[in-house]
Each structure stands twice: as C-alpha cells, then as structure tokens.
Amino acid sequence: MHMASGFVRLAVLAAFAAAALPACRREAAPGAASAPSASPVRLKLATTTSTENTGLLAALLPAFESRTGIRVDVIAVGTGKALKLGESGDVDAVLVHDPESEEAFEAAGYGVNRRSVMHNDFVLAGPPSDPAGVREAKTAADAFRTLAEKGVPFASRGDGSGTHLKEKALWKAAGAAPPAGRLLETGQGMGETLIVASEKRAYCLTDRATLLAFQGKADLEALVQGDPVLLNPYHVMAVNPARYPGVRYEEAMRLIAWLTSPEGQAAIGAFRKDGRALFVPDAVPGG
C-alpha cells in the first residue's frame, strides 16, 4: 500500500515537473529575444561638443539603437579633434560642422559619403549690459571690429573646433584681432567656454543651440545674430573603409541613413529646449 502511494506521488511530481518545464522556457524566451546579444555591435562616432552639450544625441540615438541593435559610443571633442580621430581610423563616423575642413578630409581620402544633416547658427554672445555696444552692429564683421576697438575680454575655445575656426575666420574678415591680453582661451568645449565668458563678463562666439541649452548656467545674451556668414551646417561622414579596413563601415552607413531619413530628420526637428527648436533638419526639409 505504501509502495503504491509512493508511485502515485512520484507520478504526480513527474507530471508537475513536465508541465512546469515548458512554462519556464516560455518565460525565458521573451527576455532572450529582446536582448540584442552577448556582445552588441558598437559604433564609434566622433562629433562636436554642441551635439553633446545640447542633449541632442542623447535624445536621438536610443531610437536608432533600438531599431538596429547597434550601440553608438559618442566621442564629443570638437570638429578638429573629431576629424583627427577619423584620419587615424580610430572612429567609424564623424558628425561635424566646419565645411572647409570636412571637404579637405574627404578629398584626402579619409571620409566618404558626406551627407547634410542639419543646421543652426552662430551668434556673438556677451553680457546682457553689452559694455562694448555691439548690439547695434549691422554685420558680424562690424561687431568684431568693435570688440577689438573697445578692448573688451573675449573668450575663445582655442581648440581647433568648428566654432574656433569660424571665430578665426570672422576676426580675419573684420581685419582685426582680439585685444592684446584680453583673449581668454579655454581649450575646452562650448559649454565650459560659455561659463568662463559669463564669469569674466567676456564676449564669445557660440552656436545658438548650446547658448540656449546653457540658459540659467551662463548669464549671456545673443547680441549679434542673423548675418548669413553665421550659418552653421552639420554633416555626417563614414570613415573610408578602403583606407581603414577595420572600421565598421556598414554600421556607419546605417547611422547615416537613419540620421538623414524622414524618421531621423523628424526627431531632429522635434528636439527642443524650453519650447524652442535647437536644430533645423536639412536632409529632409521640414522634417
């Protein structure tokens, strides 16, 4: 009798285990399917600090990563350094904003498939009281000449970034130079340079998006704006796989395709700070 009841208990336990096992497998399956892989593909993107400081990439990239399973490692260093990383084959793609440097990079065979992504504009920012009186300048060149004449402090990134190169071009166009002893070169990104300018009551050239993103952190206003020479376009390129066979070219092209697609362009156009758009999509106008 005891032996029979033991068999019954064993049969019941076996049946329960058989029923539970598939259920365990069903519960594990969704997690296994949703996980990208043990070692997700990683793409290195070198870019300017403005795309990082504003929060743009943090807002854009999750959608791309979710759709493709490709993780993007962002290296935000400024255009000059970003292109240097591309020249050495240390990154897979670059997103930068100095057309002259970009064209030279592409012509030298370091980059391929350059595409227009978006634009904003540069502004000359300074203390709200505007001690140099540049607010009335009709052009950016007039404003820079006034800064030189008044001898006011000027904060510069001094790092070979797209903003720094534009600043140097504007000084040259004005036929002027920063007042001796009044140039504050930070060697840092745009956000940090804005904070230095605010603390020193200095003027500086900045992209509008970063200035808006740092409202509340830097007591500066856009004093000179709207001159066509202050347009600030951004382009993306893949690093040339013919020169560096180890780069992730296919993944870079998928990122380029997404950034310039209607979905990516719509996301750029929808990105805002305090209700104001920071970038204007260019690949799909009106995106």
Confidence (pLDDT) at 287: 55
Q: Which CATH class is domain 121-230?
A: alpha beta
Confidence (pLDDT) at 286: 61
User: Would you say the CATH fold of 121-230 matches that of 42-120+232-281?
Assistant: yes
Encoded amino acid at 41, one letter: V
Give the DSSP per-residue string, 18-50: HHHHHHHHHHHHHHHHHS--SS--EEEEEE-HH
Q: Where exactly are the structural domains of the chain? A: 42-120+232-281, 121-230
Confidence (pLDDT) at 10: 37
> b/e per residue, 201-220, with b = 16+ CB within 10 A?
ebbbbbbbbbbbbbeeebeb
- The whole-angstrom separation of Cα 30 and Cα 102 is 44
Cα three-residue angle 86-91-97, rounded to 5 degrees: 55
Confidence (pLDDT) at 236: 98
- The whole-angstrom separation of Cα 48 and Cα 190 is 9
Confidence (pLDDT) at 123: 97
Q: Which residue has the tokens 């990683």?
A: 42
Residues with Cβ < 8 Å from 210, sequence gap 6 or more? 49, 50, 53, 54, 190, 191, 194
Q: Each residue's pLDDT tens digit in the chain (287 positions)?
A: 444 444 334 343 344 334 333 333 333 333 334 444 457 899 999 999 999 989 999 999 999 999 999 999 999 998 999 999 999 999 999 999 999 999 999 999 999 999 999 999 999 999 999 999 999 999 999 999 999 999 999 999 999 899 999 999 999 999 999 888 999 999 999 999 999 999 999 999 999 999 999 999 999 999 999 999 999 999 999 999 999 999 999 999 999 999 999 999 999 999 998 899 999 999 986 65
- The whole-angstrom separation of Cα 123 and Cα 207 is 6
pTM of the model: 0.81
Confidence (pLDDT) at 77: 94
Instruction: Specify the CATH number of the domain 42-120+232-281.
Output: 3.40.190.10
Q: Dump strand ranges (E) for the chain.
A: 42-47, 71-76, 93-96, 111-126, 154-156, 183-185, 204-207, 221-224, 231-239, 272-273, 276-277, 280-281
